[in-house]
């Protein structure tokens, strides 16, 4: 039988997660549209919505604001938050 965790414990776990500040220097792998290979870019770079080019096939595309927002939400859900 699985007992649900008391709310206080859940809150502590949550607090522990959100206190993990994600550095701008952290590299995030971005998958290429054409070949699916991943090339890593730092969050600092991605924030500027750069043109990103694949390290494998050289395919270049623009990293969009919408993509950055998706990435940000994903990282927040994974327990990180941004120092901005």
Cβ at position 7, least distance to Zn ion in Å: 46
The dihedral through the CA atoms of 58, 62, 66, 68 has a sign that is positive
Q: Binding to Zn ion by residue 81, rule CB under 5 A? A: no
Task: For residues 59 and 19, give the distance between their C-alpha atoms in angstroms, rounded to a whole number.
Answer: 37
- How many residues bind Zn ion (CB under 5 A)? The answer is 8
Question: Would you say 40 or 69 has its CB closer to Zn ion?
Answer: 40
Residue 62 touching Zn ion (CB under 5 A): no
Q: Taken in order 30, 20, 81, 70, is the CA torsion positive or negative? A: positive
Residue 24 near residue 44 (C-beta atoms within 8 A): yes
The interface mask with Zn ion, positions 17-56, x = CB under 5 A, is ---------------x-xx-x----------------x-x
Measured CA to CA, the distance from residue 52 to residue 5 in angstroms comes to: 43
Binding residues for Zn ion, per CB under 5 A?
A: 32, 34-35, 37, 54, 56-57, 59
């Amino acid at each position: 039988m699985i007992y649900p965790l008391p709310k206080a414990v859940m809150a502590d776990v949550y607090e522990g997660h959100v206190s993990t500040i994600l550095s701008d220097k952290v590299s995030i792998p971005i998958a290429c549209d054409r070949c699916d290979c991943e090339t890593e870019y730092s969050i600092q770079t991605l924030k500027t919505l750069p043109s990103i080019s694949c390290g494998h096939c050289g395919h270049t595309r623009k990293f969009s604001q919408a993509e950055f927002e998706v990435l940000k939400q994903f990282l927040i859900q994974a327990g990180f938050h941004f120092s901005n």
